[in-house]
Structure 1
């Protein structure tokens, strides 16, 4: 267990450093948010492009992994949405964000750091496949449900779909994944000058992203009831990995390293933009509380989960 904690602790210490820097006033929270946008728009796309473009196409997409991760995420989403609807009798809009909170991991920021440290660079294709699941499935599903049930007025299905598709297509992460897959399929390589530039951007991804997570959390407060926030946290840290584990039993066996990556990624806290997306629909406080609680608890659940996997 100590060996595992020695690997994960620097990751959480970077998050804590970002949190402390903002709380102490050394860096304004807007600066941390800007760092997050840099990581999301430049560093992480560069990292994903490098991860994908430097491998043969047949080593990038693992159908069994995708089936297990997509299936487990959809099960978790459905359980979160249904539990909110039945137990809390909430508005359909609220239910959609309960589902998102339970099923959309922080694969890009925290997932990359953990997977690269624990399983190595070869397992980073799991991060790319996880992000594909989240950006192409979980996020659009949530946005579609949110727009259709917006308390400020319903929007037509065609308009909603067009809006969501536009957001997905112009996402820098999706553009980087598409470019990486294209380069892998055609065997292309970037010119040396551009390649070194992309390498430098990719090298900054982990530290900047983790620091930005902490800085973002520093602005969150437990301003909403602890009950719903704890329920979302429990669903994310327990139900999501359990659902993925169930699906892993139903698919053909594949690379054990990627199997471990699927479980690690599903056990992460939810994506950092969770409360930012929810804020537009009046759910920012609840989702911010859930994000803060989930991130704090994940230090213990992730270390315990890694110890079980190691055993």
Structure 2
């Protein structure tokens, strides 16, 4: 357990450092927002491109992993919708945020850092497959549910789908993964200067991302609606990994390292932009509280889960 904490603690200490820095006024929160945009737009896409372009294409996309992670995430999403509808009797768009919060992990920021430290670079394709699930399945599904509910009567489903697809297509991570797969498939390589630039960008991703998470959390508070926040947090840390674990038992066996990676990724807190998306629709307070609670609790649940998994 001590050796495990020696690996995971520095990651959460970096998150804490970001939060303390903002709280103490050493750095403005706007700066950490800019850091997050830098990671999302440049550092993490560079990292994904580098990790994928250097591996054989047949080793990147593992069919059983993708099936298990997609289906497990959809099960968690559906449970979020069902619980919100049955217990809270909330409208459709409110249910969508419950589903998103339970099923979309912080794979890019925290997931990459954890997988790289715990399992090594050979498992980074798991991060790429999780990001594909989130960007191509979970996020579009949420946005369609929300936009259909809020769109004007003269904007039909086709218009809404087109707008969501444009948003997805412009995602830098998706573009980087696509380029990485292309370079891998054709065996292409970047020229020396460009390769070194990409390498420098990729190397900055982990520390800046974790610091930015902490800085963003420093502006979150436990607002009213804490019961809903706790439900989302419990769903994210318990239901999502349980659903993925269930699906892993139903698909053909594959590399045990990737199996562990799938469970780690599913057990992460939700994506950092969760409250930002919800704020636009008046759900920001509950979702911000859920993000804060989930991130704090994940230090315990992740370490406990990893310790138990190591003994199996």
Q: Smaller-chain TM-score range?
A: over 0.9
2:89 corresponds in structure 1 to: 89
Does 1:290 pair with 2:290? yes
Does 1:131 pair with 2:131? yes
1:249 corresponds in structure 2 to: 249
Deviates more, 1:238-247 or 1:23-32: 23-32
Instruction: Provide, for residues 184-204 of structure 1, a one-character-per-residue CA deviation record: whole Å limited to 9, x for no partner.
Output: 010000000000000000000
Task: Find runs of 4+ consecutive structure 1 residues off by over 3 angstroms.
Answer: 152-155
2:230 corresponds in structure 1 to: 230
2:40 corresponds in structure 1 to: 40
Distance 1:216 1:127 in 2: 22
Matches within 5 A, 1:104-115: 104-115=104-115
TM-score (normalised: structure 2): 0.98
Instruction: Provide, for residues 137-168 of structure 1, a one-character-per-residue CA deviation record: whole Å limited to 9, x for no partner.
Output: 00000000000112x75642111111111011
Distance 2:290 2:200 in 1: 34
Matches within 5 A, 1:181-196: 181-196=181-196
Distance 2:229 2:152 in 1: 26
Instruction: Provide, for residues 258-280 of structure 1, a one-character-per-residue CA deviation record: whole Å limited to 9, x for no partner.
Output: 00000000000000000011111
The count of corresponding residues between Structure 1 and Structure 2 is: 310
Q: Secondary structure of 1:149's partner?
A: helix
Distance 2:215 2:123 in 1: 28
1:260 corresponds in structure 2 to: 260
* Offset, 1:2: 1.3
Distance 2:35 2:156 in 1: 35
Distance 1:222 1:67 in 2: 36
Distance 2:149 2:282 in 1: 12
2:70 corresponds in structure 1 to: 70
Distance 2:31 2:223 in 1: 23
Instruction: Provide, for residues 246-304 of structure 1, a one-character-per-residue CA deviation record: whole Å limited to 9, x for no partner.
Output: 00000000000000000000000000000011111111111100000000000000000
Superposed CA RMSD: 0.8
2:299 corresponds in structure 1 to: 299
1:25 corresponds in structure 2 to: 25
1:175 corresponds in structure 2 to: 175
* Offset, 1:224: 2.4
* Offset, 1:3: 1.3
Distance 1:164 1:147 in 2: 9
Distance 2:304 2:224 in 1: 28
Unpaired stretches in structure 1, ≥5 consecutive residues: none
Matches within 5 A, 1:6-17: 6-17=6-17
2:160 corresponds in structure 1 to: 160
Distance 2:224 2:171 in 1: 31
Instruction: Provide, for residues 24-46 of structure 1, a one-character-per-residue CA deviation record: whole Å limited to 9, x for no partner.
Output: 11111110000000000000000
Q: Secondary structure of 1:271's partner?
A: coil
Deviates more, 1:152-161 or 1:184-193: 152-161
